[in-house]
Structure 1
Amino acid sequence: MPKEKKSDVNQVTDKHHRWLTLNRIEALTDGIFAIVMTLLVLSIDLPQKVELLNQSQIKVFLQSQGHVLYIYMLSFMILAKFWTAHHSQFSHLRATNPTHLWLNIIFLMFTALLPFTSDLAGELPIYWVSQIPFHLNMFLISVSFLLSWQYASKNRRLLKDDVSENLIKYILLKSWVTPLVAMICMIVAFIIPAYSSIPYLLIPMIHSFIRSRFKNKS
């Protein structure tokens, strides 16, 4: 008995799946991160020349921009950390699928919002209502990144054969750090808004601690 010809729907689906390559997602990610990281610095506004007539006025202006520059550098470094983590994560994948693709698109959507929320947090440091969007943005970026790895690693769904269980747990544990820190920052924002982003500085130290613990186990 001859095999039945595939339906048009199945043919379209198969063709669509062939387009879901890791290279395309990585290229999109690199492009968006490059744009977002550039927009971060472009959001720093300079005053008109007529407003800076002498050295004392320039000094006052620079002092007033301290929190803006701090939020810029913090946001830039956190994005750099996400970019390197995304590159590392994808090096352990053998393929992708529509669900994983859309999880990454959601991750990029929240990432693209960061220039707005960081500008808001930098310009208005003393109000909790201007700090919460920044911390919520960080939470959503990190949670979507976490969900992407959880989905890819569950039952080794999209992983290469040489990825160890220890490595899966290590990446998963590291991915939990930023969402938890962002939640702490949101709580702190209601008490001392201007200092609510300080807990983010602990992330590299926590990651180093996790790395040392897993090195000892291996």
Structure 2
Amino acid sequence: MTSNSPALINPFPFAELTPHRLEAFFDAIFAIIMTILVLGLALPGQADDLSPAEICIAMIPQIIHFALAFFILAAFWGAHHRTFSLVTKLDPFLIRLTFILLFVACLIPFTSTLAGDNHTEGPAVLLFHTNMLLLGLIFFCQWVYVNSSHLAIPIPDNHYRFILTKSLIVPFVSILAIIMSCIEPSWSSICYFFIPVCELSLLHVKSRLFPREVSENSISRRDESVLFTLSPELCTSLDEVAHEMEISREDLIMHILSGWMRSHRVNTGPAGSLCQLNQDHPSKSSGQSSTDINR
């Protein structure tokens, strides 16, 4: 290709796409799944001959499986949201993995209803537990792939291991439920109530991995000043724009940096910063001016 030839355009620029559209699609599908879960609640047979209390008692297995499916899906949605808050770009495999995840999640209303209506039948509850196991494993694989493929903002190793451990809770509990379904199917779904217990136990680990001193240090450094040099042309442009906006030059720079941070999903946490500002004040060169802003 000669130097005058136009650059080739990648017909599949997945690596250049931002994840916003995939996030919106995921949220829409999850909202539909969590809404239609309630359709699995049905009155028992011969409800006309039963009192309201007897109907509620008869529907307890359905209500339990509905609640389990709803709140576990809500936890998965939160995990996906936290993961994609770090994702900066997509590739074909991540897109396919997300669609596989949604396919497995779409089966939850069916399997939860089947288990609720047949909570004493081993195959029915086993299908529900297997569905939960697959969903948890796919979320786990997604987190590992996003970080190993450098599709997300780098995070500290201890933070990565903590999220990795937390994402294994649902698969671990699902395996316990599968084992329990072979012994006593009607009580196997009780295993999912151990999920909050496991997450509470991880809070102690989190407090050791992320000590409070880190956040206090970041707060104490918030008022530090950064001095940097600007070319005369840039100073003129900043002054003109700041005059039009009726704000100071320093405020304009802060607006620009904030907008860039939001559009590029920059991790500004003290443990996961992508860049460090030099604390040494640069020397002022002739023909250049300096601007001092507070962080």
Q: Does the alignment reach a TM-score above 0.5?
A: yes
Count, aligned residues: 209
Mapping for residues 6-155 of structure 1, pairs under 5 Å: 11-14=10-13, 17-18=15-16, 20-46=17-43, 51-52=47-48, 56-154=50-148
Stretches of structure 1 lacking an aligned partner (at least 5 in a row): none
Question: 1:158: which partner in 2?
Answer: 151
Q: Distance in 2 between matches of 1:30 and 1:145?
A: 15
Q: SS of the counterpart of 2:153?
A: coil
**For the pair shown, which has the larger CA radius of gyration, 1 or 2?**
2
1:185 pairs with one of 177, 201, 211:
177
1:216 pairs with one of 187, 208, 220:
208
1:137-163 C-alpha deviation (Å, 9 max, x unpaired): 0001111111000001116x11214x2
Give the number of the structure whose residues are more often helix, by fraction. 1
Runs of 4+ in 1 over 3 A off after TM superposition: 3-7
Q: Distance in 1 between matches of 2:118 and 2:7?
A: 59
Give the letter for the 1:39 counterpart.
Answer: I
1:50-107 C-alpha deviation (Å, 9 max, x unpaired): 8425xx5332222110111011011111011111111111112222211111111111
**Structure 1 residue 170, shift from structure 2 partner:** 1.1
Q: Distance in 1 between matches of 2:2 and 2:60?
A: 74
**Identity among equivalent pairs (%):** 32
**Structure 1 residue 6, shift from structure 2 partner:** 5.9
Highest relative contact order (Cα 8 Å, sep 6+), 1 or 2? Answer: 1
Q: Distance in 1 between matches of 2:152 and 2:118?
A: 43
Q: SS of the counterpart of 1:11?
A: coil
Deviates more, 1:115-124 or 1:175-184: 175-184
Stretches of structure 2 lacking an aligned partner (at least 5 in a row): 211-295
Would the alpha carbon gap of residues 29 and 66 (structure 1) be closer, same or farther in structure 2, given more than 3 Å must change?
A: same
Give the number of the structure whose residues are more often strand, by fraction. 2
Deviates more, 1:174-183 or 1:205-214: 205-214
Q: Distance in 2 between matches of 1:205 and 1:64?
A: 28
Give the letter for the 1:21 counterpart.
Answer: T
Question: 2:247: which partner in 1?
Answer: none
Q: Distance in 2 between matches of 1:170 and 1:143?
A: 16
